Structure 1
Amino acid sequence: MHTIWKGSISFGLVNIPIKLHAATEDKDIKLRNLHKKCHSPIKYEKVCPVCEEKIEQNEIVKAYEYTKGKFVILEDGDLEKLKKEKEDKAVEIIDFVKMQEIDPIYFSRTYYISPGDSGTKAYSLLRKALQESEKVGIAKIIIRSKEQLALLRVYENTLVMETIHFPDEVRKAEDVPNVPADENVTKKELDTAILLIDQLTTEFSPDKYTDDYRTALLELIESKRTGEEIVTPAGKQPAATNVTDLMAALQASIDKTKPAVTTAKTEKTGNPAKTTTKKKRAAPKAKKQA
């Protein structure tokens, strides 16, 4: 597993040399843009719109646009000096908190942490301490010239670092438009919705969720590559329903998720699929007494 960062974790006077490894990977299928006429890959060149000249990398400087059309130029030396002042390759744990106090909206990216040279025992100590205390550590780290807020936790038997957003990077929920303030929900609607949730509740098994679009795209690419004709049968479209009543929609959803119950009795005949229904004979009428 590729190492993307080397440094150390410190909490109190304990110092742990560590390495970071990306815990996730992007599985998106990258498609190239080609010239339709000759199928050559398209190049994207940096061109100055004023000078109308192609720009080389050494002719480009970084700047911050503080107002429309007004820039502050930042030299590479300025940025490197600032980076060295902040980046000492140490991750200092600032606080310990309970994991459930952090909303998932703050999470950004996950990294596995492995111990560096001579850091095995201290690594094991921190891992055990986090497990026993049921806490996570809050720390700061600079990765790729950007200071990140992060939390350290235990995943299976490995220390994990989750980079998390700073509070000012998370937009306020109250700014979301058209969110209803009043709960115009009846008890019957709520009970029915909870019943539906209960029927759809299961244990989380990540292996059951797959990227169906990516699989289909890979199959299409492979069929094109090998010259095979791929035919996809038209999927059965769900029956159109004009359900506008909330209770009706909830009840229809519950009926759809109920396990199938067979009430008809079948007889074994020459045709296994044949279903026969026996009619009950009428009881004989009692004879009239003379």
Structure 2
Amino acid sequence: MRSIWNGAISFGLVSIPIKLVNATESHSISFRQIHTEDGGRIRYRKFCDLEDREVSAAEIGKGYEDADGSIVAITDDDLASLPLPTAKTIEIVAFVPADRIDPLQMDAAYYLAAGGAAAAKPYTLLREALKRSNKVAIAKYALRGRERLGMLRVVEDAIAMHALLWPDEVRAPEGVAPETDVTVNDKELDLADALMNTLGEVELTDLHDEYREALEEVLAAKATGDTPPSLPEHTGAGKVLDLMAALEKSVKDAKETRTEEAEVKPLHPQKKTARTPKTPEPKKSTSTKRTTKKATPPKKSTASTKKTTAKKTATPPKKTTPRRKSA
């Protein structure tokens, strides 16, 4: 990564040579201004209003417009010689808990790379000290013509710095919240909690820019002369009149979506194999065999019953014969 600023971190009496590199990158699609009649590029040319002629980039410098309209020229040497210790130094002024920093203050993010082998030891010392303290470092530095506030924290094995807005640059949320007095009851809060729990969490790495992907499809289609994909018909939800009904429906829809996702999962071979050992079919077949064995004894009792019945049947003729002789 190309460095955009070279300097040093001032940590008490310790000086750590570093290079500042961008920690983020933009994937947004940019457009050019064109002449709609023929597609020609619209370009901006820079003119000097005194000489009324176009000037090159080498002739352009910086200037400050004073209150009376006069221009004060400022050169790069003037900026480099500013009487500030932060002109080429990231000066750490304090260490505070991370939750002391309002996310509204956070701006661009940078990585601080060690500037050479000699910086490895003090760089590692600062990194490990930040890790053990569970704090972030607040620093001041100068970049692009102004002094800025920064926050240093550890990201994996590197030190990152977030540019911070000065406290007076953050606006108070005046006139933003609803001015109408509204009462929210416990049942509505319970439904809102249920909706939050049903939606669950998400891995941020699974999220992607669907707008950019759709725009890329449109650009690819127009570049080849094809018809761009049409926008699906949008069914507006209309104005919400019943908050409770809307919450209940949202919870129901979220649960159905989760159920559908859960039903799809067992179709994967790995999931199915994992559940097979839990099937209790062998135990059922074993119990059936045991029941059959236990059912065998009644056959013996049936046979003995037949023998007993036969003996009882044979007995009456013996008793009948003597009665006939007596007659």
- What interval of TM-score do these two structures reach, taking the shorter chain for normalisation? 0.7 to 0.9
Q: Structure 2 unaligned runs (5+)?
A: 261-327
Structure with higher Rg: it is: 2
* Paired residues of 1:48 and 1:55 also in contact (CA < 8 A): yes
Deviation, structure 1 residue 241: 5.0
Structure with greater helix share of residues: 2
The RMSD of aligned alpha carbons is: 2.6
Q: Which residue of 2 aligns with 1:163?
A: 163
- In 2, Cα distance between equivalents of 1:22 and 1:80: 25
Deviations 1:220-263 (A, max 9, x none): 22222233x2452552534645531111111111111013669x
Deviation, structure 1 residue 39: 2.6
Q: Which residue of 2 aligns with 1:186?
A: 185
Change (3 A) 1:101 1:60: closer
- In 1, Cα distance between equivalents of 2:126 and 2:157: 12
Q: Which has the higher contact order (CA 8 A, sep 6+)?
A: 1
The SS at the match of 2:44 is coil
Give the % identical residues.
37
- In 1, Cα distance between equivalents of 2:61 and 2:10: 38
* Paired residues of 1:63 and 1:71 also in contact (CA < 8 A): no
Q: Are residues 1:102 and 2:104 paired? A: no
Q: Structure 1 unaligned runs (5+)?
A: 263-290
Q: Which residue of 1 aligns with 2:27?
A: 27
- In 2, Cα distance between equivalents of 1:115 and 1:23: 15
Change (3 A) 1:169 1:83: farther
Alignment of structure 1 residues 3-18 onto 2, 5 Å = 3-18=3-18
Letter of the 2:154 counterpart: V
TM-score, scaled to structure 1: 0.78
The SS at the match of 1:75 is strand
* Paired residues of 2:217 and 2:228 also in contact (CA < 8 A): no
Q: Which residue of 2 aligns with 1:212?
A: 210
Q: Which residue of 1 aligns with 2:144?
A: 144
Q: Which residue of 1 aligns with 2:247?
A: 250
- In 2, Cα distance between equivalents of 1:81 and 1:127: 34
- In 2, Cα distance between equivalents of 1:56 and 1:187: 68
* Paired residues of 1:83 and 1:145 also in contact (CA < 8 A): no
Deviations 1:40-67 (A, max 9, x none): 2111134578x7944536477633465x
* Paired residues of 1:45 and 1:54 also in contact (CA < 8 A): no
The SS at the match of 1:192 is helix
**Number of residue equivalences:** 254
The partner residue of 1:75 within 60, 63, 73 is: 73
Alignment of structure 1 residues 41-120 onto 2, 5 Å = 41-46=41-46, 53-54=52-53, 56=55, 58=59, 62-64=63-65, 66=67, 70-71=68-69, 73-77=71-75, 80-81=77-78, 83-85=80-82, 86=84, 87-117=86-116, 118-120=118-120
Q: Which residue of 1 aligns with 2:38?
A: 38
The SS at the match of 2:256 is coil
- In 2, Cα distance between equivalents of 1:183 and 1:34: 50
Deviation, structure 1 residue 121: 1.2
Change (3 A) 1:61 1:6: closer
TM-score, scaled to structure 2: 0.69
Change (3 A) 1:241 1:145: closer
The SS at the match of 1:193 is helix
The SS at the match of 2:232 is coil
